[in-house]
């Protein structure tokens, strides 16, 4: 039995209670709001993409450490539609994830979401090998290699959602 001196659960005049709040307590879903009002062109320009390595020159066989950073430059949330559930990819000389073996990724769109001014940082390690079969990798030769990071969109380059860096592998 409920006591009569306690406020009712549905009483809108209880201090600290927000009548217009959703399930999570926020009055407005700012991510959905900004997505609806922000032009597509501005959404893409808001996201910066960068890839860097811990060095520019590597000895043959030394692993290459990649740091990938995506950053929302705007003071409100941004969402970008992607063509894959893998929201971004990296490649070595055009080979996705340094592999000649195609990956079975579902062909369905997804969303890459950023809070206001959010920075997302990822690290990957490339062991200077190219996957040539499901269970076979071959080492690379000395030379210059281009490492690329992109948001998973066919128009990523046109939208400025790609970055590249070059490294040199020496003996």
Cβ(120)–Cβ(51) under 8 Å?
no
Distance in angstroms (rounded) separating the CA atoms of residues 70 and 51 = 9
The domain spans of the chain are: 49-170
- pLDDT by residue for the chain (171 residues), tens only, comes to 555 555 555 555 455 544 445 555 556 666 666 666 676 777 788 999 999 999 999 999 999 999 999 999 999 899 999 999 999 999 999 999 999 888 877 778 999 999 999 999 999 999 999 999 989 999 999 999 999 999 999 999 999 999 999 999 998
Q: What is the pLDDT of residue 59?
A: 97
Q: What is the pLDDT of residue 19?
A: 45
Tokens of 72: 């929302």
* C-alpha distances out from residue 146 to 66, 114, 129, 138, Å: 12, 27, 14, 18
Q: What is the pLDDT of residue 31?
A: 64
For domain 49-170, the CATH superfamily is Immunoglobulins (2.60.40.10)
Q: What is the pLDDT of residue 8?
A: 53
Residue 102: strand pairing partners? none
Distance in angstroms (rounded) separating the CA atoms of residues 61 and 83 = 34
């Amino acid at each position: 039995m409920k006591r009569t001196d306690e406020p009712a659960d549905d009483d809108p005049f209880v201090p600290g209670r927000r009548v217009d709040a959703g399930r999570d307590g926020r009055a407005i879903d700012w991510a959905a709001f900004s997505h609806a009002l922000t032009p597509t062109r501005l959404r893409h320009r808001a996201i910066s993409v960068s890839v860097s390595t811990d060095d520019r020159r590597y000895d043959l066989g030394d692993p290459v450490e990649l740091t990938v950073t995506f950053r929302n430059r705007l003071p409100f949330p941004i969402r970008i539609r992607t063509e894959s559930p893998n929201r971004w990819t990296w490649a070595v000389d055009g080979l996705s994830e340094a592999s000649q073996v195609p990956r079975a990724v579902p062909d369905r769109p997804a969303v890459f979401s950023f809070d206001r001014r959010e920075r997302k940082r990822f690290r990957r390690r490339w062991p200077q090998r190219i996957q040539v079969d499901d269970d076979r990798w071959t080492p690379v030769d000395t030379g210059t290699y281009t490492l690329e990071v992109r948001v998973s969109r066919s128009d990523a380059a046109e939208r400025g959602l790609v970055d590249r860096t070059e490294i040199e592998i020496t003996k």
